[in-house]
Structure 1
């Protein structure tokens, strides 16, 4: 049976991705930062009639991540979904604020991916899917640290993809736009200071976007498709809104042209 590991499954896209992969027939390890916050996941699994192996994982904890991968066995699908948001422009952000974004949105993803790669490479197959954001393609005001980390993880994955492809490992990113979830509840907000008026305008616009947000269950369908499709590709968007927004920076929406070119560099 296919073994999938999904991070950040206490709510939103991660929760519905774990359920969706289980429904597809995979055995799913669903991680949450705090098991006390896994009740919604347990209820959703029961309602869907599926079983999940729910485990605690703070993705920024290197030792815990290594222990989990060692205990898990042969992981066929890794879905890097855990993420963290931040509102603030650079002058408002401390080094600690910047590091927190990198730790969760970039370094933890790199670490977990590195941990599963040897087994996937040796077995000759694997699928790595990282949930990024349209903020990984388009920089946005007052999302400096968040977009910077998401840009970084997209660059990491796009660089990795052609190198591991000859070993049967497919790498994908999934870019949602606004999604209805509890993600925004934990967003760090810097004190506005001299940027108060501009920051409030950004927050007002963001509130409007999230008032019309894509349902998390619908966004998760794209993640599940990216993880299970027989026709994998590098870049996915979860909605037409995400396609339109990402296209502000990207003319190559599937990422295929870039992968073809960079594959040629090492072929």
Structure 2
């Protein structure tokens, strides 16, 4: 449950590091945090040659961001990015990659690659940031997915990674809270961004699916419909700003009615308070 908010005057000297800001949720969050909430934004991406849209959006909003290279899968890159950061009040783990596939038709190395980006990448950055966040009594926000709650066909590796992130952060939250750091997860449903275009499917993917071709065709038809009515990245960014501003942010934020309905099939504890109330008592 979100209670009172930090005052805007306090925001002006607060710093947030956001991963995966070249497009979509990360880009929208970086610009909104700087323009609407007055944060000093460290905007990171693996390849800063793709920073054009972010810089253009920041210029249009009349703000600047501190652009840095960060490959979340490379501990040396993480260390280099955080070098020289004297204060950090919040971390938004947003970088991630979609993946469509099924076990029989892909290698275990393919699955490991998905885990490296979507799970271990989050751990690399969070681990490096925690000393700074302890000093500031800050917060960690990790963009997961409703796919971290409900397993979905042909998303086996992706959902496994997001399930892992959810479990890790839910377990970390009460421990981090003893050191003054809050931990939250942000669970969007379908979001209108380049995410879907980056999953690597070719036009003949269905033909190559062999015995799974009818199932994949049905899944892709359903998915195209879901993304035709997708949530705008700016709407997700607004929810992230609410968590950044809240004095006591909820552990879980589902970012749309569609996401709440979908995850609600499995979750009754929609804001995570029951689980946190239980496990916090284990470390108090």
Q: TM-score, normalised by structure 1?
A: 0.97
The SS at the match of 2:38 is coil
The SS at the match of 2:183 is strand
Q: Tell me if the contact between 1:9 and 1:18 (Cα under 8 Å) persists in the aligned partners.
A: yes
| Structure 2 residue 225 is matched with structure 1 residue 208 | yes
The SS at the match of 1:162 is helix
Shift of 1:193: 2.2
Q: 2:189 aligns with which of 169, 177, 183?
A: 177
**In the alignment, what sits opposite 2:158?**
146
**In the alignment, what sits opposite 2:122?**
109
The SS at the match of 1:71 is coil
Q: Tell me if the contact between 2:87 and 2:136 (Cα under 8 Å) persists in the aligned partners.
A: no
* 1:60-116 CA-partner distances (Å, limit 9, x unpaired): 111110111123232111000001111112222211111111101100101111111
The SS at the match of 2:84 is helix
Q: 2:69 aligns with which of 49, 56, 81?
A: 56
| Structure 2 residue 93 is matched with structure 1 residue 76 | no
Q: Tell me how far apart the structure 2 counterparts of residues 248 and 175 of structure 1 sit (CA, whole Å).
A: 14
Q: Tell me how far apart the structure 2 counterparts of residues 119 and 33 of structure 1 sit (CA, whole Å).
A: 22
| Structure 2 residue 265 is matched with structure 1 residue 248 | yes
Correspondence list, 1:221-260, <5 A: 221-260=238-277
Uncovered stretches (5+) of structure 2, i.e. residues with no partner: 1-12
Q: Tell me how far apart the structure 2 counterparts of residues 108 and 156 of structure 1 sit (CA, whole Å).
A: 13
Q: Tell me if the contact between 1:174 and 1:237 (Cα under 8 Å) persists in the aligned partners.
A: yes
| Structure 2 residue 146 is matched with structure 1 residue 134 | yes
Shift of 1:124: 5.0
Q: Tell me if the contact between 2:99 and 2:158 (Cα under 8 Å) persists in the aligned partners.
A: yes
Select the structure that is richer in strand: 1
Q: TM-score, normalised by structure 2?
A: 0.91
**In the alignment, what sits opposite 1:87?**
100
| Structure 2 residue 80 is matched with structure 1 residue 67 | yes
| Structure 2 residue 44 is matched with structure 1 residue 27 | no
Aligned residues: 266
Shift of 1:214: 0.7
